[in-house]
Each structure stands twice: as structure tokens, then as C-alpha cells.
Chains A and B, each alone.
Chain A
Amino acid sequence: MQRIGVFVCWCGSNIAATVDVNAVSEALSHEPGVVYSINYQYMCSEAGQNLIKDAIREKKLTGVVICSCSPRMHEATFLKAAAAAGLNPYMVEIANIREQCSWIHKDMPTATEKAIILGRAAIAKVQLNTPLTAGESPVTKRALVIGGGIAGIQTALDIAEAGFEVDIVEKQPTIGGKMTQLDKTFPTLDCAACILTPKMVDCAQNENINIYAYSEVAEVKGFVGNFTVKIRKKARYVDETKCTGCGLCTEKCPQKKVPNEFNLGMDTRRAIYIPFAQAVPKIATIDPDYCNMLKNGKCGVCAKVCTAGAINYKQQDEIIEREYGAIVVATGYNPIKLDNFDEYSYSQSNDVVTPLEFERLMNAAGPTNGVLLRPSDGKHPHTIVFVQCVGSRDTSGCGKPYCSKICCMYTAKHAMLTREKYPDTDVYVFYIDVRTPGKSFDEFYRRAVEEYGVHYIKGMVGKVTPRADGKLSVQASDLIANE
């Protein structure tokens, strides 16, 4: 039979306000094997720990039960205290009478009864415990980063810098993520590519980093420290070891009408393509949905023009199995679809654009070479309206209930950049709240108002209607002026 000590914690009033701690320590003192049972205001405090240590020594305890908060909070504290007093730390059990009892009950008698039951269960467990010794198990010293956006890239660079091997699995043909599509970045208005592309190149050149682009994770097995991962490397129909990224095939491919996802479908690319000039890895990829050769065996132009002989129409998906010690998921975000928001006429007018499309329209490598033009008629817009919070903060079921946290800032950026390049264009921002937490963020938004003369109007836009003359009419109310 064990000699068990029970220590019931009040956690100030966190436990004691709903659980009768005296009744608990009293009741548990009668359990088989219990030779000592007390309660105290803060068991985790220095004084509380000393109560435990002293009792272990004086009462010759062979097991300890602590009725307190979740083991996530203080298991380590109590295990250490027990070890310091000479008890095997695995002879300590914690009954969670805070998160799983006092916090979720209002009624003292029921909470007290439950605390006693939880305490009894822990005592029963200690009865069966045997002293353990901690062992070690080896860890695979290689990490996997899923997603090669700026977050995944920086993570990989940091891990590599610390001296470990790291693989990036990216489902697109190139790493870079959404940031490749941005023009300038808030709050500094630096060019996005100038920050991003050197890091992409660093990834490619770093000996510790291995990029699996155009690949996805097919399976993860194992446990922390020892994962086995299957990576599906999708067929590019181009031999990575031979392709030099010269781009000749992308000029000669006769299939020209493929919507270019990099410019969000605002222009076209070929069936064989390299997403953009600074792609990493810079390797061509054949889009099997559009390639004439892959669809009906009629073409083969790219294979003829490729001087490196890299084209391989027979290439298959490949499964690679690797071991990893840690996995970082950095799969980023996707903008909301506008199907549920037809009041804004996105599907009816080419001149209603999403913010990412706006980035491409402002970008020198975009479909308009950086000149802000109306997609419908290529004319210069004289008034631009930004509609905030579309699809955010929406509990009606059409959108997401949360605030995206980022759009207030990039809208201030878009507004400012527009005013800077085109002072004759009036810019209106219809907002519900302007949310700009972050270093220099509110100052950034105020600059849009005070220095760039952007008009901020409180009130969500209700409706956008294409007019017969090709312009758009926007219906909103100004809640502050009440008009």
C-alpha cells in the first residue's frame, strides 16, 4: 500500500469560490492509502511547494495527489518539487479541479462533490503507479515547411540558418505565395518584389534548403520528432534537371488562351508557362488542362523548340518519402469568393475589381504594365471607391464572422498610391470601422487622409450598379452626416 499525500489548492478564489476545499481535503483524507491531506491558498507558490516537500520527507510519502489547475499549467512545477524532496516525480498525479470543475460549475455542493470524485480517481491512479525513469528518443534533424509563401520562406531560412536541413513543399510551380502578386507593401511602401525575390533566391541557393515546388503533402505519419511524410511531386511534363528556364517554349506554344492566374485571369498565358520572371525554381510547367499534346496528342511544338530537350510528355506524378522531426504549416490564405455578394456587381462589370486584382493593375509587371486603367475600356478612372469589409464580419452566412485584419491597411495603401500617381483621381473609402493596430499603422492611415486627401466615409456600400454610360454608380449612406 502506498503512503499518499493529498494537497488541495484554493487557487485564490478560482477554486475556493466554487469548491469547498476543506470538505474536499477532509473527504479525501479517508481514502485508502491517504496518510496526509491538507488545503492551501496557492500550492504552486514557494510556500505551497515547501508544504509538499516537507510532507514528502516527514510523512515518508510514496505518492502525491495535487488537486489544482490543469497539468498544462503546473505539472512541471509539482514534479520538480517532488523530485527535489527525493520522490520519483512520476508518483505525482494531478486532479484538475479548476478548468474541469470550479470554472465550469456555479453550484458549490455539486462542484465540491465532483472535485472529490476527481481527487479519488487521481488517488486510485497513484495506487497503481510505479516509479519511472525518463528516457530519450532520437529526433530526425530535418524540418518540413508546407507552403512556400513569405511565411514559409522566412521559416525555412531561419531553420537553415540555425544549421538544420529543411524542405519546402509548395503546391504552385514557384515559391513566393501571394506576396509575388503585390505591388508595394504597407507600411513602408517598399516594392514587394524587392523584399521577396532576394529571399526566394536565398532559399534556392541555401545548401540546407530543398524546394519541392509543384508538390503537395500526400500523407503524414509518425509523431513529434519522427514524422514520415509522403510528398506528391506533380508532373510538370518538363525535366527539372534539364530545363534552363529560357522561356522559348512559352513563346512558341500555340495554345495562347489560358487565363493567367498570376494576373488573376486579367490576361492570358500559354499552356506551357513560367508564372513570372523571378520564379523559383525557374522551370517551365505544362498545364495539362490546356496543352493540345496532352489532351489529344496534336502538337509537340515545345519539345521541338526546347534546345535542352527538357520536355517529357510522359512524365508521371512521383511520390517521395522523407523523414522529418518537425513540420511547419504555412499555407497562407485565400481571398473570399464574391459569389454571395452580387449587390457589388463583380460578375456584371469588369471595373469592379478585387484588391489583389488592383495590386496587379498597379504593378509594372501586371496586365496594364502598371498604368491604372479601367479593365472594361482601358480608360483612366477619375473616381475610385473602395468598399471595406466585404465578406468579413458577416454572421448572416454569406461571409466570415471575423475581421480579416489586413484590408483596412492595404486599402489605405491602395488609396495613397492612387492619389500619388494620379492626383486628379478622387478616392473614396467606405468603412465600418478603420482597424489599424500595428506599429506605424494608424499613422499610415492618417497620412492617407491628411496628406493624400483620401475621403473616408463611415457607412457600408449597399449596392453598385453598372450604368448605361459605362460608369458605375455606388449607393451608400454617410452615417456620420446622416445623408
Chain B
Amino acid sequence: MSKYDKEQVLCSSGVNVLKCMRCGKCSATCPSYDEMEYHPHEFVYMVEKGQIDKLMASPSIYKCLSCYACVERCPRGVEPAKLVEALRLLVIRQQGQNHLKADDIPALLDEDLPQQAIVTALRKYSK
């Protein structure tokens, strides 16, 4: 994977992965641990190693609840959840990766959906 993506994850998350001492307390505290392929301490290490593509392709980043337990408990102040958020953003920002076409949206609408959500969806997917 290109170095550009690692830099982008580090930059948009503001996380310094080098502070991690690999204690695993983040994983030990994570309520989604059992659901994950890669675990919070692995996010940190894999970002350090530049394995951004693997992480972006993994369902693990959507298993994170953004509960910030890992951020709260990490003895070194590493903030793993912020890396997960940065990875999700990176996925969203990819060009041409839309799972949904603008034309498909009307069929998926239901009455309870707030107006604002429909406008957002159209804006986002009509590029």
C-alpha cells in the first residue's frame, strides 16, 4: 500500500502510533473484540506497518462502536478509535467505490426516513 494512505490516516486521526507499547489493554477493554478480525491493538500496529489496505478491506472497522473505551483506557494515550475513524473516512472518500447508485435511491426510500437523510444520500451518491 502506498505510503500516502498511512500518512493520511496518521494525519487525519492525529494519532502517534509509535507511542504504543503493545500492552493490549485497548483490545482487552473493547466491547466488540469478539466480532473483530483485527483488534484495536492490531489497528495500531498495522497502521504503523502501513497495512492500510488490509484494514480498509476488513469488516472490523465497522464493528468498532466508537465507544472510545480504548481511548479512555490506553496507558500511553494512543487513541486507537481515532485510527478506526480515520480508516472509515478513507474508505468513504475513495472515488468510484459507491455501493449505491443515485438512481437506486428512490426504490429504497421508506416513509419514516427523514427528508434530510434523503437529501444527504442524493448529494453523496450523485457524484
Q: A residues within 8 Å of B by Cβ?
A: 343, 389, 393-399, 432, 458-463, 475-477, 479, 482
Query: Using Cβ atoms and an 8 Å threshold, which residues of chain A touch B29?
Result: 343, 462-463, 475
Contact of A396 with B28 in the complex, beta carbons under 8 Å: no
- For residue B104, give the distance in angstroms from its CB to the closest CB of chain A: 39
Partner of A479, one of B27, B69, B76, B77: B27
Query: Using Cβ atoms and an 8 Å threshold, which residues of chain B touch A398?
Result: 75
Contact of A477 with B23 in the complex, beta carbons under 8 Å: no
Contact of A432 with B39 in the complex, beta carbons under 8 Å: no
- For residue B26, give the distance in angstroms from its CB to the closest CB of chain A: 8
Contact of A462 with B30 in the complex, beta carbons under 8 Å: yes
CA distance A482 to B46 in the complex (A): 14
Partner of A462, one of B21, B27, B76, B77: B27
Q: Which B35-52 residues sit within 8 Å CB-CB of chain A?
A: 39, 41
Q: B residues within 8 Å of A by Cβ?
A: 19, 21-30, 33, 39, 41, 69, 73-77
16 contacts between A and B (CB under 8 A): A389-B75, A393-B23, A393-B75, A395-B19, A399-B75, A460-B23, A461-B28, A462-B27, A462-B29, A462-B69, A475-B29, A477-B33, A477-B41, A479-B22, A479-B27, A482-B39
Query: Using Cβ atoms and an 8 Å threshold, which residues of chain A touch B33?
Result: 477
CA distance A460 to B76 in the complex (A): 13
Query: Using Cβ atoms and an 8 Å threshold, which residues of chain A touch B69?
Result: 462
17 more A-B contacts (CB under 8 A) besides A396-B77, A432-B22?
A389-B23, A393-B21, A393-B23, A393-B75, A394-B76, A395-B75, A397-B77, A432-B23, A459-B24, A459-B25, A460-B23, A462-B28, A463-B29, A475-B28, A477-B28, A477-B41, A479-B22
Query: Using Cβ atoms and an 8 Å threshold, which residues of chain B touch A462?
Result: 25-30, 69, 73
- For residue B27, give the distance in angstroms from its CB to the closest CB of chain A: 4
Contact of B25 with A460 in the complex, beta carbons under 8 Å: yes
Query: Using Cβ atoms and an 8 Å threshold, which residues of chain A touch B25?
Result: 459-462
Query: Using Cβ atoms and an 8 Å threshold, which residues of chain B touch A461?
Result: 25, 28
Query: Using Cβ atoms and an 8 Å threshold, which residues of chain B touch A396?
Result: 74-77
Contact of A395 with B76 in the complex, beta carbons under 8 Å: yes
Partner of B27, one of A389, A393, A395, A459: A459
Nearest-CB residue, chain B, relative to A478: B24
CA distance A398 to B76 in the complex (A): 10
Nearest-CB residue, chain B, relative to A430: B28
Contact of A395 with B77 in the complex, beta carbons under 8 Å: yes
Query: Using Cβ atoms and an 8 Å threshold, which residues of chain B touch A343?
Result: 29, 73
CA distance A477 to B26 in the complex (A): 9
